[in-house]
Structure 1
Amino acid sequence: MDQIFRPFERLNFSDKICFLSGEQLLEKHKITVFGQWLLDEFNLRDKPFKLLDESIITYQDIKVPCSQNSFEAIKKLENTIEKAFKEGYDAVKQLDELLLFQWMAKIVYGLIYHETITGIRQQAAIGERFNFSQSLVHKFSNFHLMLQSLARPVEFEGQLPWSISVFPVNNAGQTFSYRDEINTLTFSIRMNDFGIIANLQDNGANKKFHQQILKESAGKTLHPIQFEELCARFYYSAYLFNRLPDYTILPTADTIFIESMPLQSISSKPVFDTWQVKTYGQVLENFWKPWGYSLFEIIKDPEAPMSFITSHEATFNDCKNLALA
C-alpha cells in the first residue's frame, strides 16, 4: 500500500498535490469544497462566506487541489448525497453514517485546508513561519486520515469516531442553513425537510452527553427554532469536551485499520467541563438570532433557561404548537 499521506507533519499544502491523497498533479485541477449541486440548488456561488480572520470570500472560491482519482471518488459520493438530500429526511436517515461523515468531513477539511493556506501566506508576508498547536496537528491529522477512507480502504473498528444525528425539521422552502466550528470539528446543516448535527471527532461522546433530549425528540418533527436549540447544545458541549481523542492506526498491505481508544483512559476527570448556563445562553442567543431572543430572556431563570424543545413539565413541545415564524 502507498505510504499514508500526512500533510500536517510538514505543512505540505502545495497546490501541486492532491489535498486528499497527496498525489502529484500533472496539471492544476481544483474542486469546490461545497458540491456543485449544492451551489446550484441554493444559488450559493456568489454568496459571502466569512473566514476565521473575518475576511469574506464566496462559496465558489473555497477550492482544493484534487487528483483525478480523488475527484472520481468525491463525484460518486456527491451523487449519492445529492439524491438522498433532495429526496428528504427518510432517504438521508437511511444513508450509511460513513457516507455522511465523508461528505461532511470533506467540507470541513476543505475549509481547514483553505484556512491553513491563508494562514501560511499571511505569515510568509511578514517573514514568519505558520504554526499550529500540537493538539490541533494531532486532531486534524487523524481527521484527514479518516477522510482518506473516501479514496482508499479504511476500516473503523469498535466505537466510531463521530457523533451524527439526523432530524426531521419543518423548514420553509429553499432553506439552507450551514454552520461549522473547525477547532471542535462540529458541523450542522438544515435544508429540505431535515437537519443534521455532527461532531466529527468525539468518539460518540456528545451524542451520549445529550442522550436524554435526543430520546425525548426522537422521531418527532422539529420546528427550526427547536433544531437550532439542539445545535446550540451540541456546539457548546463540543466546546466543553476536554479530551483529545486518540486512535490505534494499523496500516496493512490492503487496508488501514483505525480503532478508537477509550476516552476515560486518557484522564480520570469528567469527559466534559462544567456546563455554565450564562455561556450556554450566549451560544443559544446566537443560534436564535432569526427569532430575536435576548440573553436576558433566555437566562431569566438560571435554573431553567428558555427552551422550545421541552416545556416546564419536561415534556416535548410539538412543533405544531409553536406560534413562530
Structure 2
Amino acid sequence: MSTSLYNPFQDLLFDDHFCFLSGNLTTERISVFPEWLMNHFQFGDERIEMMDKTKSYKYSDLELPCSPEVKDAFAQLDVKIQAAYKKGFEGMAALDEKLLFQWTGRIVYGLLYYEMVYERNRLQKLGEDFNLSPMLRERFGHFHLMLQSLIEPISFKGNKPWSIIVFPLKYSADIFSYRDDTVNLLFSMGVNGFGIIACLQDNGAIGEKQKDIVEKMKGHILHPVQFEELYARFHYSDYIFQYKPQYKIESDENGITIEALPIKKVGSKPLFGFWDEDIFAQLLANYWQVYGIEREDILKFQKPPLSFLENPYSKDFINPETIELPF
C-alpha cells in the first residue's frame, strides 16, 4: 500500500497503548458501539459472540484504544448521525455515504479488532504464532486506510469502495436488530423507521447485483422479514463474489485519493459464482428462525423458493402490508 499512514495489519499491531486508528500512543478509550445507541435501546448489558462462538463480550465492554483526536472526531460524527437518526429514514437517507461508511466502519472495525486480539491471545496460549494471509492483510489494510478518512485528508474519487443502502423499515419501537460479518466487512442494522445494509469493501458490485430488488422496494416500508431476506441476499452475494476489489491509491501534498476500480470479468469467469438455492435457503433460515421458518419451509418440492420480497412467478414486489407476520 503506497501510503505512510499507520497500518496495524502490516505488523499485526493490536495493543491497548496505541490508538486503533492513528497508531499514536494513548490511554484514551472509545466504545465500539456508540453510547447513545446502546443507551437508547438498552442493549449495553447484552452479549455478542465472537466468530468461533466460544467467546462473548458485553456490548458495553467493547472499547478501543484511541487518541484524543480520534475520540473527538468520532464524537463529532456521532452528533451528525444522531441528529439524522432522530429524523428517521429521511434524515439517515440524506446523509453523505462517506459519513455512513465511517460510522458503520467504526463498529465493524471495532469488532474486527476484538477478533484479532482474541485470536492472537488464543494462539499465544498454545505457543503458536498469530498470522493472517496476505489477502486478508491487504483487505483489512485497505479498509483501515479508508476509515482514516475521518482524521486524514483522504478523499474518494469516482466509483466508491462500498455498497450502502438505507430504506424505510417497520419495527416495534424498542427493537434493535444488528448483524455483521467482520471478515467480509458486512453490516446491517434495523430499527424503528429505517434499515441500513453496508458492504464496506465490494467496490459497489453487490449493490449493482441487487439493484433490481432495491428499485422495486422504493415507496414501500419494509416488513422486518423482508429486511432479513434482503440482507441474506447481500450476504450470500458476497459469499459467491469471485473477484478481489482493486484500488487506485494516489498520494500528493494535498492528501490521499482512493478510487475503487470497476470490477471487470476476466475471460469467461463471471463476477459471481453459481447461486445455490440450497445454501441460500440455509442462510435465510438462520435469519428467519425468529419467525419459526425452517429451511424445509423455504424449499419445497416442485415449488419455487419462498420469498417475502418478490412474487416467485410474476417477480412483482410483495406489498409489506400484506405480510401477516409480527414486527
The yes-or-no answer on 1:283 pairing with 2:283 is: yes
2:112–2:183 contact (8 Å) kept in structure 1:
no
Q: Which runs of 5+ in 2 are unaligned?
A: none
Corresponding residue for residue 36 of structure 2: 37
Moved more, 184-193 or 305-314: 305-314
Change (3 A) 1:267 1:196: farther
1:82-131 residue CA offsets vs partner (Å, 9 max, x unmatched): 11122210100101000000000111011111111111111112221101
Corresponding residue for residue 299 of structure 1: 299
**Inter-partner Cα distance in structure 2 for 1:108 and 1:33:** 8
Corresponding residue for residue 6 of structure 1: 7
Change (3 A) 1:303 1:152: farther
**Inter-partner Cα distance in structure 2 for 1:183 and 1:99:** 21
How big is the shift at 1:235?
Answer: 0.7
Corresponding residue for residue 106 of structure 1: 106
**Inter-partner Cα distance in structure 2 for 1:279 and 1:188:** 20
Give the superposed CA RMSD. 1.5
2:245–2:261 contact (8 Å) kept in structure 1:
yes
How big is the shift at 1:267?
Answer: 6.8
Which SS does the other structure have where 1:280 is aligned? helix
1:104–1:187 contact (8 Å) kept in structure 2:
yes
**Inter-partner Cα distance in structure 2 for 1:60 and 1:267:** 49
* One-letter code aligned to 2:274: T
**Inter-partner Cα distance in structure 2 for 1:301 and 1:270:** 29
Q: Which runs of 5+ in 1 are unaligned?
A: none
Corresponding residue for residue 309 of structure 2: 309
* One-letter code aligned to 2:49: K
How big is the shift at 1:302?
Answer: 6.6
Corresponding residue for residue 87 of structure 1: 87
How big is the shift at 1:303?
Answer: 6.3
Corresponding residue for residue 223 of structure 1: 223
Moved more, 6-15 or 136-145: 6-15
1:171–1:191 contact (8 Å) kept in structure 2:
yes
Q: What TM-score, normalized to structure 2?
A: 0.95
Corresponding residue for residue 262 of structure 1: 262
Moved more, 165-174 or 95-104: 165-174
1:229-286 residue CA offsets vs partner (Å, 9 max, x unmatched): 1011111111111222121211222311111123216675111111000000001101
- Correspondence list, 1:203-242, <5 A: 203-242=203-242
The yes-or-no answer on 1:249 pairing with 2:249 is: yes
* One-letter code aligned to 1:119: E
- Correspondence list, 1:124-273, <5 A: 124-264=124-264, 269-273=269-273
Identity %: 40
* One-letter code aligned to 1:264: K
**Inter-partner Cα distance in structure 1 for 2:19 and 2:255:** 20
